[in-house]
Amino acid sequence: MIRALLLLTILWTFTLIMLGAYVRLSDAGLGCPDWPGCYGQLTAPDEPHEITQAEQTFGGEVHAGKGSKEMLHRYVAAGLGVLVLALAMVLWRQRPERLPRWLIVLPVLLIVFQALLGMWTVTLKLMPAVVTAHLLGGMILCALLVAMAGRIATPLPTTFSGVRSCCYLALLLLTGQIVLGGWVSTNYAGLACATSVLCQNELAGNHSVWDAFRPDRVLGQTADGASLSLAHLAAIQSLHRLGAMLVLLVVGRLIYVLHQRSSRLALPLAAALLLQIGLGMSNVLFSLPLPLAVAHNGGAALLLAILVFITVRLPAAQYTATARLNATWVRSLL
């Protein structure tokens, strides 16, 4: 039962990540100007009298289609909250070996924080820092659930202990790349570079591009209130592309090391990496079509999940004789 419930929760989380990307990239993030309802209702207004009442109460034009997308996202998120809570209760009572209690509790706390970020996304009018944090929270939640699955699964043999540092470095860089990808998406900078790989032409002669990375600014503006220029957006996209190159090198090295020990672990990671790189390039070549842009978000979640699953299954670190002697000496002083 635990494995089935955990698998369902992971798949639900993955679906929610994709749905959130679809809502954001289809410009429906403010389809409902209030939270948690939509124009004061449980569903988006679609009848003529409901639309008229909503426009009179909230002002502006009502887009029923965008509101429906946003409310679907919120209801799916609520369903995930129920699943995560149920999973935590089951795991708390029947805690499997190698599964620490903090790993059971943390997803529940993260779901609560995600709900707050969802509210702030609306009240702060798609502030990039908040929306990026919301995206990253979904990725972290997926990673935590996959880490649970890895803890329940059989640990890898001791021959894999040598890849620990490679896995940690890959996880660190991939997490940073996901943050950069979120910053690209939330600032709508996906098509800021079209003439060169690292946007040299778009960045030429501009010395204020780092204003684009300040977290205390609103959407489309610098912290001083000026409008973001193409150079600002190109800076965001350029750093994301540079990060992709670093991830390709580090994860590629990890795949090579894993392949020397087991192709069963290396091949899924290699396939996910190539898929994600291909999706990133396709988004640029085909001018960011919505299906490919959404799939790029899903590809990041898949790559992260595979990497986390491998990392948490690594055998426990073995102390060397020197390390054991030093630990004994330290304990004797306490």
Whether residues 227 and 295 share a domain: the answer is yes
Contact 314, 308 (CB under 8 A): no
Does residue 331 carry a pLDDT above 80? no
Tokens matching residue 277:
């790189």
Whether residues 176 and 301 share a domain: the answer is yes
- Beta-bridge partners for 38: 41
Confidence of residue 1 (pLDDT cuts 50, 70, 90): confident
The number of CA neighbours under 13 Å toward the Cβ of 274 is 7
Whether residues 120 and 191 share a domain: the answer is no
Whether residues 325 and 258 share a domain: the answer is yes
What are the pLDDT digits (tens) for 203-241?
Answer: 765 667 788 899 999 999 988 888 888 888 988 999 999
Residues in the chain: 334
Residue 58, Cβ density class (10 Å: 0-12 exposed, 13-18 middle, ≥19 buried): middle
Tokens matching residue 142:
């997926």
pTM exceeds cut of 0.85: yes
Does residue 91 carry a pLDDT above 50? yes
Mean pLDDT rounded to a whole number for the chain: 89
Last residue of a domain, one of 153, 174, 200: 153
Rounded to an integer, the average pLDDT of 163-187 is 95
Rounded to an integer, the average pLDDT of 66-95 is 95
Q: How far apart are CA 236 and CA 231, in angstroms?
A: 9
Whether residues 261 and 308 share a domain: the answer is yes
Whether residues 133 and 183 share a domain: the answer is no
Whether residues 314 and 207 share a domain: the answer is yes
Q: How far apart are CA 242 and CA 181, in angstroms?
A: 11
Query: What's the pLDDT score for residue 205?
Result: 57
Residue tagged active-site, from 61, 70, 97, 202? 70
Confidence of residue 7 (pLDDT cuts 50, 70, 90): very high
3-state secondary structure string, the chain? CHHHHHHHHHHHHHHHHHHHHHHHHCCCCCCCCCCCCECCECCCCCCHHHHHHHHHHHCCCCCHHHHHHHHHHHHHHHHHHHHHHHHHHHHHHCCCCCCCHHHHHHHHHHHHHHHHHHHHHHHCCCCHHHHHHHHHHHHHHHHHHHHHHHHHCCCCCHHHHHHHHHHHHHHHHHHHHHHHHHHHHHCCCCCCCCCCCCCHHHHCCCCCHHHHHCCCCCCCECCCCCECCHHHHHHHHHHHHHHHHHHHHHHHHHHHHHHCCCHHHHHHHHHHHHHHHHHHHHHHHCCCCHHHHHHHHHHHHHHHHHHHHHHHCCCCCCCCHHHHHHHHHHHHHC
More confident residue, 190 or 131: 131
Rounded to an integer, the average pLDDT of 145-169 is 91
Query: What's the pLDDT score for residue 321?
Result: 43
CA 236 to chain centre: 17
Query: What's the pLDDT score for residue 276?
Result: 97
CA 236 to each of CA 12, 136, 232, 243, 310: distance values in angstroms, whole numbers, following the listed order: 30, 17, 7, 11, 30
Contact 150, 308 (CB under 8 A): yes
CA 122 to each of CA 36, 62, 107, 190, 225: distance values in angstroms, whole numbers, following the listed order: 9, 15, 23, 22, 20
Whether residues 225 and 272 share a domain: the answer is yes
Confidence of residue 326 (pLDDT cuts 50, 70, 90): very low
Last residue of a domain, one of 138, 153, 168: 153
47 catalytic residue (yes or no)? no
Whether residues 328 and 261 share a domain: the answer is yes
Whether residues 148 and 185 share a domain: the answer is no
Whether residues 328 and 184 share a domain: the answer is yes
Query: What's the pLDDT score for residue 315?
Result: 86
Full domain range(s) for residue 221: 159-334
Query: What's the pLDDT score for residue 327?
Result: 44
Rounded to an integer, the average pLDDT of 42-56 is 92
Cα 304–Cα 171–Cα 296 angle in degrees, nearest 5: 35
Query: What's the pLDDT score for residue 197?
Result: 74
Say which amino acid occupies 285: L
Give the chain's largest Cα–Cα span. 78
Rounded to an integer, the average pLDDT of 138-160 is 93
Residues whose CB falls within 8 Å of the CB of residue 172, separated by 6 or more in sequence, listed in order: none
Does residue 111 carry a pLDDT above 60? yes
Q: How many domains does the chain have?
A: 2
What are the pLDDT digits (tens) for 119-148?
Answer: 999 999 999 999 999 999 999 999 999 999
More confident residue, 315 or 246: 246
Does residue 62 carry a pLDDT above 80? yes
Does residue 320 carry a pLDDT above 90? no
Last residue of a domain, one of 153, 184, 209: 153
Whether residues 322 and 183 share a domain: the answer is yes
